[in-house]
Amino acid sequence: MPEITSIDGYLHKVRFVFPKETGDRTAYLSASFNCNGHGSTYFRDEGNWVCSITLPPGRHDYKILVNQYHSFDENRRPVSENVAFEIPLENAYHNPRMRQFAAVIGGYSIVRLAVPNGGGQYTLETQNGSVIYREEVPETFGTVYEFGGNFRKYRFSGIAGTLPENGFYSMAPEEKNSFRRTLMYQIFPDRFRREAPHTEGIVPWGSLPTTTSFYGGELKGIISKLDYLKALGVSHIYLNPVNTSGSNHRYDVLDYFAIDPILGNAEDFSRLIRTAHSMGIRIIMDMVFNHTSVDHPFFRDAVARKSDSRYYHWYHFTDDNPEIFRGRYPSSEVQTTPGYETFLGFGGMPKTNLMNRETGEYFSGVAAHYVEQFDVDGFRFDVADSIPVDFFHNLFLNFRSYGKDIEKICEAWCVSPYFTDEGLFDGLMNYPLRSMIVSLVNTQADFGEFQVQYRNLCYSYGDRVMAQMMNILGSHDVNRLRNALGEDESRFRLSYAILYMMNGIPSLYYGDEAGLTGGPDPDCRRSFPWKDINSSSLEFFRGLGRIRQEYSAMEEGITLFHNYGSHFGIVKADHENTIEMMFTLSHGCRAEALGELLMAEGVTQNGDEIEMKPLSFAVFSRSRLDAAGK
């Protein structure tokens, strides 16, 4: 077991000491809190391997990776599964300075209290305000009590007394974003639009993709469709990699300072950003710093010249005479441990050593180049859960000198507030929310389970971070949403309607609005069907976009859930407006119309009543919340 020391009764210092042996070159802590990443949390060589981190109470699990490919527990016993340990919470805890415990969102206050098992019930007392809702969220250490309402001073009351013992806590002022987050639109550049005529080596537009297909999508094609994107309500475009590469996905970069000539050139990229900015659209670049192409000149020089190469320590070599391979380890083709660390065992993508100062400075220069020369607005960092957090701390410190807010999005697939600690990422790609919505709409989870899971996300990250999450239902790495839902259009539209109600920025994967389908990669990366757009689907997404743009509560409001028995409700409210989406799952029903009907699917309105089919929804602009949250 690691050594665990309490810092303040809630946060704990956790120290691992691991025996170092001859042949060890790196040691990583791959754990539940860092999405089992390969390098975000690394051991330092102090004779033995030593690693210290700060963790909250709860259940955690880990294993230790040596030279990336060998897994051990803390006593150096080989393991295949993670080893679990628990950090207890001994007393009720609240810290108004920690974002998990207190925030003002949309003019409403949200506060939380962590209570250990057996710690009893708690209520909230306020000065000059009301409590609109109270939720109990189960945790492995006990319960998190969440309260929201119109108050600025508060205290908790339970069987052990009050917190604080004397007086009241005060809410800090609300943090406001300097820009809107209405809709992120993700573009896989090779598949969005091609303006130039067909050329040799380019497959026909609309044919089914393979792993090696090039369709010849261009930056000029994106520019030509910016009006189309603006009509969807897009505030951000997230571009998959655009740097020079030998692959259609471009995650194996050959030149970080060049635009892939198949896509266009530097002037095309600059014009895309200038034109987007003139329309109020921000551009997010995909940055691939975890690994390069196996054909990158730095890696080739390191393999050829070994320790005589300037770039030898820019990578993690596990063998003094490494052999290049292009398959995946382990597999039937590759059974011998590779001579260098990689992205998830793919030999064509050797892992960079960002613990090396010179390597870190080079990649910091890459980011600076695109901000200073092209005025990009932010980055999504590929495989960020496997890149040292120390590198990101230093990189993001540099961002402060650019004179603009640079958005920082982390690719990580689990619930991991580790990556949103102070000085790190604004938010993550919210894959857990995708799983929650798909399970709810597929009736694999009930509404109560969804509500608890969502409250748990809010507690884990804090409401300010949740307002900056990239909320996704589709991406280049998962089945298209229509396919995940059995190509049931009602389930598909209900899923996106729920997504647009959540705090954070909803992300629309290119072509979902046009009716595009697709299974696992590469099928989820089909070309955009410009000649066969589903007009009904397109109008549906334009409607969602209009609501998201016109009502500020959709973007950053307090969130309430209502179980009406026959149907369900999600409420978003700020001090400007209140929006409620009522929806059904397996059964239809009749319900009371709540106000002005903004949008509906599968719903018929008759005066003050609506008739709802199964898997239908209606979005209302309604009266402000009362003291009971109704």
- The DSSP bridge pattern shows strands 470-472 and 505-509 to be parallel
Whether 390 is a known active-site residue: answer: no
Cα(222)–Cα(242) distance, integer angstroms: 12
Measure the CA–CA gap between 1 and 289, rounded to whole angstroms.
33
Residues 6 or more apart whose Cβ sits within 8 Å of residue 630: none
Cis geometry, peptide bond prior to residue 164 (ω within 30 degrees of 0): yes
Q: Which residue, 194, 280, 188, 281, is CA-closest to 240?
A: 188
| Tokens 């729920």 found at | 498
- Catalytic residue of the set 146, 218, 286, 382: 382
CA 184, distance to chain mean position in Å, is 12
Three-state DSSP string of 25-60: CCEEEEEHHHCCCCCCCECEEECEEEEEEEECCEEE
Q: How far apart are alpha carbons 353 and 292 in whole angstroms?
A: 11
Per residue, the 3-state secondary structure of 486-511, as one string, reads: CCCHHHHHHHHHHHHHCCCEEEEECC
Cα separations (Å) of 387 from 119, 259, 410, 473, 474?
Answer: 39, 24, 10, 25, 24
Q: Which of 187, 181, 182 is nearest to 509 (CA)?
A: 187
Residue position matching structure tokens 């804090």: 462
Given 74, 286, 407, 411, which residue is catalytic?
A: 411
Residue of 287, 272, 282 lying closest to 185 (CA atoms)? 282
Instruction: Tell me which residue has tokens 């009971």.
Output: 628
DSSP state of 312: G
Kind plus residue range of the DSSP H or E element containing 591: strand 589-592
- Helix, strand, coil shares, percent, the chain, to 5: 25, 30, 45
H helix or E strand, kind and range, residue 464? helix 463-466
Cα dist. 115→19, 61, 77, 132, 476 in Å?
A: 37, 22, 36, 21, 40
Map residue 399 onto helix, strand or coil.
Answer: helix
Pairing of strands 578-583, 470-472: unpaired
The total of other beta-carbon atoms located within 10 Å of residue 589's CB is 16
Maximum Cα–Cα distance across the chain: 81
Q: Which residues contact 361 (CB under 8 A, 6 or more apart)?
A: none
Q: Is 405 a catalytic residue?
A: no
Active site residues: 382, 411
